[in-house]
Structure 1
Amino acid sequence: MGLFDRFRRRETGGPASSGLTRLPRSHGPSGLRARLEGAMARRRLRGWNPPLENINALVASGGPRLLARARELVVTNGYAANACEAFASNMVGDGIKPSSLIEDAAVRDRVQRRWLAWTDEADADGLTDFYGLQAMVAREMFVAGECFVRMRLRRSEDGLLVPLQLQLLQSEMLPFEKTETAANANRIRCGIEFDAIGRRVAYHFRRRHPGDSTDRGDVIPETVRVPAGDVLHIYRPIDAGQIRGLPHVAPAMVRLFLLDQYDDAELDRKKTAAMFAGFITKTAPEEALIGEAEADLDGAALASLEPGTMQVLLPGEDVKFSSPADVGGGYEAFQYRTLLAVSASLGLPYHLVTGDVRQANYSSLRAELVEFRRRVQQLQHGVLAHQLCRPIWARWMETAVLAGVLDLPGYPAAPGRFRAVQWIPPRWDWVDPLKDIQAQVLAMEAGITSRRKVVEATGYDVEEVDRENVTDARRAADLGLSYRTGPGETQGARATPATRPEVGDGASATDPPTEQE
């Protein structure tokens, strides 16, 4: 028996063992060491010594530089700019819209109409509506990782339907370096003031953007304290206890920057090589070729040729044409793999970042869109709807009631009954509309889902769609128009049966439909 055989028998247990039942390797000390291999200091991992720092410390120290680089990258890099727009358009689209859950239909309709009218006046700068502000917030989340929304009450003489407007503030307006103890003994961390039990009580904003040289003036103090009840901090918390946001583009910033430099260098190399068509070697430098110009200050002469020129060379003269090196067959594969890693870092499908769908098909597009939409829905409901839409809806309703715009009896006693709302994200465009709609129709007919859920998946309120259907049907009947289908009907073998005769017309409500029906 060899040495290795004896070692193997000792390790696994053999005739020389004590007869005790041994645990599997995965449950013994060896298995534990294997699971903790990342904590060992062996040769391969000897140089891997990351600092044990909290995410807030990292953000406070590197936040300003990371933010500046992210903004420049989105402006100058085409892939980053395209990814930013794809992120915002899929996150918000034409808006995450409310559907009030008030039981009284008349009150619910009145609230929805007042809200729709107010959305046009929501922007304090007057540049867009409430849903346009949502898109701006989504872009800021991609670039800066966070955005601040200040809810500002207005005077009655301002002429607004509801005296409330929203002001968007960029991340730079809240200084990362402002970490101190306030006069009231509260702690200020990265510009956010916390009380003794860790609640946010105020934000210390700069009065002017630090990078805006067009807005000058000597204002003291530099920052102004704004109560936390008037400010919404929109960001995605990655770690527990995180107080400031990180740019969504951060994991892909280095690759995008280096890839951009590589592409620029490759373009300059090809451009320089293309400037030289050929090189001429002469035995008698004093004799000029056809088309040769006078030498420049460095003694170099250039010769240009016209179409159809036939040049006779003297003995010993030679012409060598330039043959610049190509980028090689691996250039496109390298670009693809790099951009694939960039897309994975951003959490976006490859074709949305690059616009390249050459290697895509129906199955691959649908597979990656399903996963991407799960991530987007998580951000829609957990961040935008919860941190932005929900508190704005509550503040808007409270302001509208106090201003007399909404008459809601019983609101002061039970405001939660009137604030109940469901936020409907934008609809998803289908890869194969026919198959998806057929699947939804079958699901409704089988009772697996409701028509409300199906309609809301398209980004619309089911009650609004019903009102439009009633209006369209009444108008078509008044004009004597007839279409192939009406609202609520489907085509084919699973068509909805026609309406049965009323009991008063000589038929029973339980009678089966006639052949004509």
Structure 2
Amino acid sequence: MTIADKIRNIFRLFRRTPPPAAQQRGFAAAQLNRLTESWRLTAERIDDELRNDLDALRSRSRKLEFDNDFMRNYLDIAETNIVGETAPRLVSLVDNAPGSPDNGARTAIVNSWAEWGKPGVCEVSGHYSWAGLCQAIVRGTARDGEALVLPKYGKAAGNKWGYSLQLFDVDRLATWLNRTADGTQNAIVAGVEINPNGRPVAYHFTTGQMTAASARNAERVPADAVLHRFIPQRAEQRRGIPWGHAAILSMYYSGEFALSALVAAKHGADHLGFFVSPDGSAPPIGTETTDEDGSEGARIVTSAAGTWDTIPTGYDIRTVDSKYPNEVFGPFLKIANQRMASGLPGASYPELCNDYEAVNFSSIRAALLSARDEWKKRQTWFAAAWLEPIFADWLRFSLLNGAILLDNGAALPIIKADKFAAHAWQFRGWAWVDPLKDVETAREGIALRITSRSRIAREQGRDIEEIFDDLQTEEALARQYGIDLTTPPATPLNPKQEQQPA
């Protein structure tokens, strides 16, 4: 072998490809390494997590309602968008035959429902009207994750309908009470007793005051005597989770940061500087105060605009250079608040944080429409979870007690309960984002027969029959006063735009 061959062999050794590293299997997001070691993994079921964390999670959510302006605003937004200023309106759909409405029964049911919904009638404590009760349920569910209502029947209801409601604090549910199922008893998960199919059969309420002596006493109440509702997020979930659970930490820390920055800015504005002596003693200037016990207090130095002070001999001044207000404070807090808003269902950042500085028509329209879709989902949940069972019980007991009267004074008969049960709910709607374009779109939709006036009215939270009643009354009043309500011919939006001759 020549010297050249030996050199080529040496270079071949250096050029050899190293053996391939062992390939990582599985999902990268599931790997446990130095970058993910603080990311706790858990294989617990949702009920196991709730029994440990629910009370603390609910307490912190309630604390934020008291102290955090964004949380309070979010709860107001949820209450307003789901319920609104009035409760969802009952629309009776009783018919004598298909296409032949029973207007007498419809009016009687709607009027009786409205009378039952007055304060002091529908709720036993007298603090809520029906609209107020709906608002309290929505607010409590958003804040606590769940709401609890106990129906009252017969004489206990305290009204002629024989049916009323009592709003309870979900703290009464014994979260601490848990047991596994065996051959003789059902399982209990965070105070909710369930059968083998997972259906609640009873609720366990903490009795007495929440003290060390009584905190472990609970009373069992059958499930058919309780309305306990929440929006489940996972299968086999027995208790509700606060709607803002994913944003609680962001909301708390951004609030604490904003408060600290505000305090730092105020401190920097209040303190102009310090007098410094060689031995650290206080300077002999200003006003010396004396405490109540006669001890010498701190020296107070006042400052006024346009004054000059004389520094005592041997003393120096150190000025305060506060970092706040800081130019990056606003952008940083805005990003934190955007993240917070993303964790609150149905909340749009501009509305939640009252920040419309950088929005334009397109962006605010997209944000509003997306938020409204979320609120419509929760309106549908509210109707199924609360309105339907409450109306069914109210109608049954009202018919039993003869409380729904026709115009002639006759009571609707209980034998036709199935007929009288036909109904729908009209939730609040929203005004058009761009009225001119939306009106044109609605007009074209009606012309093409791809929508209806009733549907358009429902989207705005109105009833087409009420609109027709208003129009009829308005036209009759106009005729009485001799006013012509004929719609004038349309004029172009831009007066300069005139039709050009052909």
TM-score scaled by length of structure 1: 0.78
Match of 1:234 in 2: 229
Match of 1:462 in 2: 464
Change (3 A) 1:420 1:177: same
Change (3 A) 1:428 1:53: same
Task: Work out the CA distance in 2 between the residues paired with 1:457 and 1:3.
Answer: 77
Alpha-carbon offset, residue 4 of structure 1: 13
Contact 2:58 2:143 in 1 (8 A): yes
Alpha-carbon offset, residue 426 of structure 1: 0.5
**SS where residue 367 of structure 1 aligns?**
helix
Q: How does 1:59-78 map to 2 (within 5 A)?
A: 59-78=50-69
Alpha-carbon offset, residue 463 of structure 1: 2.3
Aligned length: 459
Task: Work out the CA distance in 2 between the residues paired with 1:269 and 1:61.
Answer: 37
Q: How does 1:357-436 map to 2 (within 5 A)?
A: 357-381=356-380, 383-406=381-404, 407-408=411-412, 412=415, 415-436=417-438
% same residue: 25
Alpha-carbon offset, residue 268 of structure 1: 2.9
Alpha-carbon offset, residue 397 of structure 1: 0.9
Alpha-carbon offset, residue 283 of structure 1: 8.9
Task: Work out the CA distance in 1 between the residues paired with 2:302 and 2:233.
Answer: 63
Match of 2:8 in 1: none
Contact 2:203 2:220 in 1 (8 A): yes
Match of 2:92 in 1: 100
Letter aligned with residue 345 of structure 1: G
Contact 1:73 1:257 in 2 (8 A): yes
Q: How does 1:350-361 map to 2 (within 5 A)?
A: 350-361=349-360
Match of 1:18 in 2: none
Task: Work out the CA distance in 1 between the residues paired with 2:427 and 2:301.
Answer: 66
Alpha-carbon offset, residue 54 of structure 1: 0.5
Task: Work out the CA distance in 1 between the residues paired with 2:282 and 2:391.
Answer: 86
Match of 1:123 in 2: 123
Q: 1:125-180: per-residue Cα shift (whole Å, max 9, x none)? A: 2222212211111111111000012111142994x342211111121111111223
Stretch deviating more after TM superposition (147-156 or 333-342) = 147-156
Contact 1:172 1:209 in 2 (8 A): no
Q: How does 1:304-315 map to 2 (within 5 A)?
A: 304-305=302-303, 308-311=306-309
Matched, 1:250 2:242: no
**SS where residue 257 of structure 2 aligns?**
helix
Change (3 A) 1:418 1:7: farther
Contact 1:118 1:161 in 2 (8 A): no
Change (3 A) 1:155 1:277: same
Letter aligned with residue 469 of structure 2: R
Alpha-carbon offset, residue 65 of structure 1: 1.3
Task: Work out the CA distance in 1 between the residues paired with 2:145 and 2:282.
Answer: 68
Match of 2:194 in 1: 194
Given the alignment, which residue of 471, 475, 478 partners 1:476? 478
Letter aligned with residue 179 of structure 1: N
Match of 1:452 in 2: 454
Q: 1:467-491: per-residue Cα shift (whole Å, max 9, x none)? A: 3333333343344343344xxxx96
Contact 1:173 1:208 in 2 (8 A): no
Match of 2:45 in 1: 54
Alpha-carbon offset, residue 67 of structure 1: 1.2
Matched, 1:152 2:145: no
Letter aligned with residue 378 of structure 1: K
**SS where residue 343 of structure 2 aligns?**
helix
Q: 1:310-348: per-residue Cα shift (whole Å, max 9, x none)? A: 556688765554332334221111100000000001131
Stretch deviating more after TM superposition (149-158 or 277-286) = 277-286
Q: 1:75-111: per-residue Cα shift (whole Å, max 9, x none)? A: 1111111111112111211322221222233222221
TM-score scaled by length of structure 2: 0.80
Task: Work out the CA distance in 2 between the residues paired with 1:389 and 1:267.
Answer: 45
Q: How does 1:133-282 map to 2 (within 5 A)?
A: 133-155=133-155, 158=158, 160-180=159-179, 185-207=185-207, 210=210, 222-280=217-275
Residue ranges of structure 2 left out of the alignment (5+ in a row): 1-11, 96-100, 405-410, 493-502
Matched, 1:85 2:76: yes
Letter aligned with residue 97 of structure 1: R
Alpha-carbon offset, residue 186 of structure 1: 3.1
Task: Work out the CA distance in 2 between the residues paired with 1:95 and 1:118.
Answer: 13
Change (3 A) 1:283 1:44: closer
Letter aligned with residue 330 of structure 2: E
Contact 1:162 1:396 in 2 (8 A): yes
Task: Work out the CA distance in 2 between the residues paired with 1:164 and 1:334.
Answer: 53
Task: Work out the CA distance in 1 between the residues paired with 2:299 and 2:319.
Answer: 16
Residue ranges of structure 1 left out of the alignment (5+ in a row): 11-29, 495-517
Question: C-alpha root-mean-square deviation of aligned residues, in Å?
Answer: 3.9
Alpha-carbon offset, residue 219 of structure 1: 9.3
Letter aligned with residue 177 of structure 1: W
Task: Work out the CA distance in 2 between the residues paired with 1:379 and 1:4.
Answer: 67
Task: Work out the CA distance in 2 between the residues paired with 1:254 and 1:150.
Answer: 33
**SS where residue 346 of structure 1 aligns?**
coil
Q: How does 1:278-317 map to 2 (within 5 A)?
A: 278-280=273-275, 292-293=286-287, 302-305=300-303, 308-311=306-309
**SS where residue 155 of structure 1 aligns?**
helix
Match of 1:26 in 2: none
**SS where residue 492 of structure 1 aligns?**
coil
Alpha-carbon offset, residue 430 of structure 1: 2.9
